[in-house]
Chains A and B, each alone.
Chain A
Amino acid sequence: MFKSMMEWVDARLPVSDLIKSQATEYPTPKNLNYWWNFGSLALFVLIIQLATGLFLAMHYKPDAAKAFDSVEHIMRDVNWGWLLRYLHANGATFFFVMVYTHILRGMYYGSHRKPREILWWFGVIIFFVLMATAFMGYVLPWGQMSYWGASVITNLLSAVPVAGEELVVWVWGGFSVGDPTLNRFFVLHFLLPFVVLGLVVVHLWALHAVHSNNPDGIDLEHKDTIPFHPFFTIKDLYGVGVFLIVFCIFVFYAPNFFLEPDNYIEANPMQTPAHIVPEWYFLPFYAILRSIDFLGPYSKFAGVIAMGGAIAILFLLPFLDRSPARSFRYRPVSRVLFWIFVVNSFILGWVGYNPADATVFGGMPIVYVGRAGTAVYFGYFLLLWFITVTGMEKPQPLPKSL
């Protein structure tokens, strides 16, 4: 019965073919390690965000006078509203955990290298859109951090030469962050996840066109691959299980761990909180923004350029790395640089979390650490290019096949 029904469908729309060639029998490298779980995990979190977000939107009111109360209404009155909101708020955090791990995985194993440049670029675009979506989502509860975070970030636009001030007023729909801003951010926050979904389809299309990279970073023969199903369906499901355990610990036992207490105070345009911090996933970039403070009147624009450049430089990564080996597994120097880069990102995050005028190590302004961290951040990309273009790094011999 089912078979004949599928035959009828396949004659009109070749569904079985698609599932077979792109999913069940899709050839996947047999040596993928657990770092390859994070792409599917990111997709899983995206689905959680879409589902919870959709139902939250049915109770939320994007109006500066009502937004804060409607979030409390969701928390107190809506059946299971607290769960939807905590899933959504913590989902954002875990989305970035997945995406950052996924990006670092790609950087370590050379997944951006030829012929996967377009695949990588779409990943970077998704990352950009995701940051915009997360930022606008954080504005919606209309708490103090929402409001002042939105003020600080939208004010970055005023650094644009010539038309900066007009641009900010245009984005705000007024002379400060206000009701029109909240309303349009809500609409965009609703729209962008679907844009992300479309970009994910292209990302997967590009992936299936060139196939997965692997921990050895070598081109594989057919005998080195195994069908996606059941081997990777089960492995991805296992990853989902582990993730759900961690996720639920936060959702049920520490739902506010990643949230700022100040955001439970309603937005007040007349008073800045003593210390504005963005969400943790923006902290390293926030630190880079603040570390450029030594250029007088150009500091602001330079800081914005540095912050944007810190992400945009990922677009260039496929061309910066010139080594004959993709995977850092066979590249001792790159490997060391990579781990310095990772540790440095955490240091930058810590700098971003601290107040701008904080001092560390007995009186040293923390901004010095931020400047050093910024130099190391960009230095990673520069050095990676330098040691590979000059051939300073001799990769270890690569295996011919698995």
Chain B
Amino acid sequence: MQVYKVLIYKDMPISRAIDPQGDLTHILQSENISSRLSRFFTIAKKWKQKCRLGISAALADVPQPYVCLAGRSMEPMVIEQEESRRDFLILATSAVGAAGVAGAAWPFIRSWSPTADVLAQATTEVGLKSIEEGQMITVPWQGKPVFILHRTPAQVKSAQADDKATMTEPMPDAERTIKPEWLVVVALCSHLGCVPQPVGTGDYGGFLCPCHGSHYDTSGRIRKGPAPRNLAVPHYEFKDPQTIVIGKAVA
């Protein structure tokens, strides 16, 4: 006997729709039959064969999508063409859905980034005239403290002398300053963002971070402790010999 393969789903009203003794014609006359079975009929008709459906009570236990076979054999089989078509549709629908969700999420994610007014306050102007040699001031820039240290010749000398020393992040002092007597660094420890203590507190004559014990030298370079990097040198320019502008204007 010719074997045909049909996909039937459990939630179809099969028991009512199919007379176990009936043939395919009978099935299609039933009102409850789904389009799935119509497809089956189309295939069956193509092959001009009649099919006796061996549907029995055992159907309830057959895993779905299962197959109804002609004859007595109940071995589950699947129409592969059907499967790959279904897989493709599910995949394509999911992909479009995922892309849509990702696109819709973007404005929400971006809403957390700095706003226009925050970006607008990107620069700070500082007058240096009143800072005596050896003195240090702290100014806010973008909500962060910036140390401006008027270094003494001794501090400059010790920073330059240490250029060759072993360091976590080696960098010559000359690259960290525009004028050697002025050290401008963002006063946030590269470890976890605490504000280091003023110059002279650390082991190398520089800054000590009180939180986790990182020592920075008079050039703001990390010399000891858990911090991975030197104190950052912000972008700054001398507007005139007595004034610096920290930061870059953001459009």
Q: Does A176 contact B (CB under 8 A)?
A: yes
Q: Report how many residues on chain A are interfacial, defined by Cβ distance under 8 Å.
A: 38
B residues 93-136 near A (Cβ < 8 Å) are: 109, 112-115, 118
Q: Which residue from B113, B115, B169, B195 sits with its C-beta under 8 Å from A272?
A: B195
With A174-B143, A297-B229, A356-B211 in contact, do A151 and B114 touch (Cβ < 8 Å)?
no
A184 to B112, CA, bound (A): 8
With A152-B194, A169-B114, A173-B114 in contact, do A290 and B140 touch (Cβ < 8 Å)?
no
B residues 204-251 near A (Cβ < 8 Å) are: 210-213, 225-229
A170 to B114, CA, bound (A): 7
Contact: B226 with A290, CB < 8 Å?
Answer: yes
Q: Which residue of B lies closest to A303 (CB)?
A: B226
- Per-residue CB proximity of A348-359 to B under 8 Å, as 1/0? 000000011100
Chain B residues with CB under 8 Å of A152's CB are 192-194, 211
Q: Which residue of B lies closest to A159 (CB)?
A: B228
Q: Does B172 contact A (CB under 8 A)?
A: no
Q: Which of B112, B225, B227 has the most A CB atoms < 10 Å from its CB?
A: B112
What is the distance, in angstroms, from B211's C-beta to the closest C-beta of chain A?
Answer: 5
Q: Report how many residues on chain B are interfacial, defined by Cβ distance under 8 Å.
A: 31
Chain A residues with CB under 8 Å of B228's CB are 296-300
A285 to B212, CA, bound (A): 14
A153 to B211, CA, bound (A): 12
Chain A residues with CB under 8 Å of B160's CB are none
Contact: B113 with A170, CB < 8 Å?
Answer: yes
Chain B residues with CB under 8 Å of A303's CB are 226
Contact: B168 with A151, CB < 8 Å?
Answer: no
Contact: A180 with B118, CB < 8 Å?
Answer: yes
What is the distance, in angstroms, from A59's C-beta to the closest C-beta of chain B?
Answer: 26
Chain A residues with CB under 8 Å of B34's CB are none
A125 to B144, CA, bound (A): 34
A290 to B192, CA, bound (A): 10
Chain A residues with CB under 8 Å of B118's CB are 173-175, 178, 180
A290 to B194, CA, bound (A): 14
Contact: B145 with A173, CB < 8 Å?
Answer: no
Q: Which residue of A lies closest to B226 (CB)?
A: A293
Contact: B194 with A276, CB < 8 Å?
Answer: yes
With A175-B144, A297-B168 in contact, do A155 and B113 touch (Cβ < 8 Å)?
no
Contact: A270 with B210, CB < 8 Å?
Answer: no
Q: Which residue of B lies closest to A269 (CB)?
A: B143
Contact: A293 with B194, CB < 8 Å?
Answer: no
What is the distance, in angstroms, from B122's C-beta to the closest C-beta of chain A?
Answer: 8
B residues 127-159 near A (Cβ < 8 Å) are: 138, 140, 142-145
Contact: A293 with B210, CB < 8 Å?
Answer: no
Q: Does B191 contact A (CB under 8 A)?
A: yes
With A293-B225, A297-B169 in contact, do A272 and B210 touch (Cβ < 8 Å)?
yes
Q: Does A271 contact B (CB under 8 A)?
A: yes
A174 to B118, CA, bound (A): 6
Q: Which residue of A lies closest to B222 (CB)?
A: A297
Q: Does A142 contact B (CB under 8 A)?
A: no
Contact: B112 with A170, CB < 8 Å?
Answer: yes
Q: Which residue from B113, B142, B213, B227 sits with its C-beta under 8 Å from A357?
A: B213
Q: Which residue from B114, B194, B213, B225 sits with its C-beta under 8 Å from A174?
A: B114
Q: Which of B145, B210, B211 has the most A CB atoms < 10 Å from its CB?
A: B211
- Per-residue CB proximity of B175-207 to A under 8 Å, as 1/0? 000000000000010111111100000000000
Q: Does A162 contact B (CB under 8 A)?
A: no
Chain A residues with CB under 8 Å of B115's CB are 173, 180
A residues 112-141 near B (Cβ < 8 Å) are: none
A153 to B114, CA, bound (A): 19
Chain A residues with CB under 8 Å of B109's CB are 170
Q: Does A38 contact B (CB under 8 A)?
A: no
Contact: B227 with A356, CB < 8 Å?
Answer: no
A275 to B109, CA, bound (A): 34
Q: Does A156 contact B (CB under 8 A)?
A: yes
Q: Which residue of B lies closest to A355 (CB)?
A: B210
Q: Which residue from B142, B190, B210 sits with its C-beta under 8 Å from A176?
A: B142
Q: Which residue of A lies closest to B138 (CB)?
A: A270
Q: Which residue from A174, A275, A300 sits with its C-beta under 8 Å from B226?
A: A300
Contact: A272 with B211, CB < 8 Å?
Answer: yes
Chain B residues with CB under 8 Å of A269's CB are 140, 143-145
Q: Does A78 contact B (CB under 8 A)?
A: no
A residues 149-163 near B (Cβ < 8 Å) are: 151-156
Q: Which residue of B lies closest to A151 (CB)?
A: B193
Q: Which residue of B lies closest to A156 (CB)?
A: B192
Q: What are the nearest 6 A-B pairs in CB distance?
A: A176-B143, A175-B142, A357-B213, A155-B193, A293-B226, A272-B195
Given pairs A176-B144, A269-B143, A272-B195, 6 additional interface contacts (CB within 8 A): A151-B193, A173-B112, A274-B210, A293-B225, A297-B229, A299-B226
Q: Can you sample 22 A-B contacts with CB below 8 Å?
A: A151-B192, A151-B194, A154-B193, A156-B192, A172-B114, A173-B113, A175-B144, A176-B144, A176-B188, A177-B143, A269-B143, A270-B195, A271-B145, A271-B195, A272-B194, A272-B195, A272-B196, A272-B211, A275-B211, A297-B229, A356-B212, A357-B213
Binding site for A on B (CB under 8 A): 109, 112-115, 118, 138, 140, 142-145, 168-169, 188, 190-196, 210-213, 225-229
